[in-house]
Structure formats: C-alpha cells, structure tokens
Amino acid sequence: MAIFFNVFFRTLGFFFAILLTVLIIIGISAYTNYQENSDFDLVRGNIEANDTIFILEVNGPIIHSEANINDLVGMNIISPKAVKDNLDAITKLNPNILIVSINSPGGTVSASNELYNHIKEFKKKSNSKVYFHSSEMLASGGYWSSLAGDRIYANYGAIIGSIGVRGPDWIFFNKPNLISSGILGQTIEVKDEIEVYSTNAGKSKDLFNSFRKPTEEELTHLNIMVEKINEDFIQLVSKNRKIEKEVIKNDIGGLIFNSSQAKDNFLIDEEIGLQELVNLIIQENKFKNVRVLKKSQNKDSLFNMLFSNTIMTKNNFDNYYINKCNRIRNNLVSILSYSSAGC
C-alpha cells in the first residue's frame, strides 16, 4: 500500500508540474499578445470613442538609426525610421489629430529633413492634422522637422529657434606639442612638434587634415555648401510660417528665443501646456465622444524581457554615445550645440 501511495503522489505531482508549466506558458503568451496589441495607452476617454487624438512622444537629437523603436528606449535620440514605424501604426487608428510632443536640440540635416518628409507623408495618408508641441526645447533640426505640422505650440519658457546650419569643424594644430605614438596613425615624433606624412589622390582629398591650414578655395567651397542648405532652411520657415525671408535672415537667424519671444516672432502659434492643448483641440473641434491615445514608452513583452539576449551593457552604451556624437560632429548639422546633444 505504501508503494501504491508513493507512486500515486509522484504521478500526481508530475501531472501538476506539467499543468503549472502549461499555465505559465499560456500566461506568458497571453501577456505577450496583450503587450503586442496595446502599443498605445488610453490616457483619456473611451476606447470605443468616435474621435481620436494621438500623442507621439519623441526626444533627443535627430539622427539616422536602423534600430526599431523598442531598441531606442532610454537612448534619447529621434530616429526617422522609428518615427515612421510609429506613424504607419498610428495611421491604422484613423486619428483626427496627431500631437507630436517633441524636445530636441536639432540633429543632422539629412535626418531632420527625412523626419519632416515622414510627417508630410503621414498627413497625406491619414488626412489628419498634425500639431507639434514642445515642453522644453525645439531648436535647429527639431524646428526644421516641426515645420511639417499644421501648428506649433510650446510650454511657457521653452527654448525655440536656432535657424541655421553648420558643417564639420576644421581644427588646425598650430605647432602642436609632442604626443604619444599611434594616436594619429603614421606619425614621426620629434622633440617639439609632430610631422605627418600622408598619401592622398584627388584635389582636397585630405580635407579637414588637422596638420594643415585650409586653403581659401576650400573654405569658400565649404561655406557655399553650408549656405545653400541654410537658404533651404530659411525657405522652409518662410513658406510654412509665413515670415519674410529677409526677416528670418536679418532678425531671427540662428538666435534662440523663449516661448513668448518665439510667439512674437511667429515661430510658434501659442504658449500652452500639452494637456491644455488637448482641451483646446477638443473644444475647437467640438468632439463629444473622444479618446486620447499615447505612444507607450519602454513597453516590451514579458517574454522578451525574460529571454532577450540583447541586454544593453555599459560598453554598448558607451559605443552608442560615441557613434551618436561622431555622426553629429562629422555631418552637416542643424543643431543648437554639440553639448545640447550630449556631446
């Protein structure tokens, strides 16, 4: 009899273990499906409401990245690709109005213009109005991108402006001190200076060589290149904000303004908080049955959190910031300052 009960309870325990494992798997699967189907948080109203206001949060310098939006969480960059992925998903929800809640010191010219184009494309596909709102900073490439919106709003005290473009800096070491070997590749160390021997083919192929001065022709060429993009920026501001080009060139330029000054210069439409803006939209459009959805931040499935092998290490973070800053410093950029981008 003792043997019978021993076998019975062991068998029963085995089946309970199997049942518990199955329930855990079902639970993880259900939670994963829930997470995957709830990328957006309902922050106000009824999920079945007729009208939709969507809030998409983006923060940081605007640079190209092939990573998806979940990989960028906490990294404080705005990737045009990740934004487009979100916009494609938002389009399926048929929003009446999209609010892009943005804080950015700017970014590379290419990425800022691409973000601008993605917003324009979204407006055509969705037939939705797009309002930009900044709580802290909307400068340079960030402002460039916001010109795709129908309106621009900002919190009291937010920093707005910095309309301009800069190219890579040409740093010239005049009579440099001795440095340790290997840092600059092929170098010959002497007592009081560094001599650099390099091989190049093509006129100005060693552009930005720190051990020679730029020629007048090279400086003129670089200035023309930057000025052309600046003219495009001015044209974009003039067209979308209805400001005379000469006013932008002579009075606004690369200056930054607080929200009140920005409104006086027609760079924004109104000083207003984000929640106040939502209320204003509801009032203006006479929405009776409205839902307000927001892109969830740092949302990932339980399964991925438990079993992902892409944990961000300190070295990965260090490499990420180095790569980010190299991209910003080595490209044509429309950015308030390198330090504002964490570089």
The Cα–Cα gap between 111 and 82 comes to 12
- How wide is the angle at C-alpha 177 spanned by C-alphas 174 and 181, nearest 5°? 115
Measured torsion, CA atoms of residues 109, 159, 248, 236, in degrees rounded to the nearest 10:
40
- The most confident of the ranges 150-164, 187-201, 327-341 is 150-164
The whole-number average pLDDT for the span 311-315 is: 49
Instruction: Quote the pLDDT of residue 115.
Output: 97
Looking at per-residue pLDDT, the higher value among 179 and 152 belongs to 152
Starting at the earlier edge strand, list the strands of the sheet with 129-134.
Answer: 40-45, 290-295, 51-59, 97-103, 129-134, 151-154, 270-271
The Cα–Cα gap between 7 and 5 comes to 5
Q: Is the pTM of this model over 0.85?
A: no
Note whether 90 and 130 are within 8 A (CB). no
Starting at the earlier edge strand, list the strands of the sheet with 137-139.
Answer: 137-139, 159-161, 256-258
For residues 264-285, one letter each, b for 16 or more C-beta atoms within 10 angstroms of the residue's C-beta and e for the rest, the string is ebebbbebbebeebbeebbeee
The Cα–Cα gap between 343 and 339 comes to 5
Which tens digit of pLDDT belongs to each residue from 148-159?
999 999 999 999
- CATH superfamily entry for domain 39-165+244-341: 2-enoyl-CoA Hydratase; Chain A, domain 1 (3.90.226.10)
Which tens digit of pLDDT belongs to each residue from 5-46?
454 446 555 555 565 565 555 544 444 443 444 578 898 998
Q: Give, as one character, the DSSP assignment of residue 188.
A: E
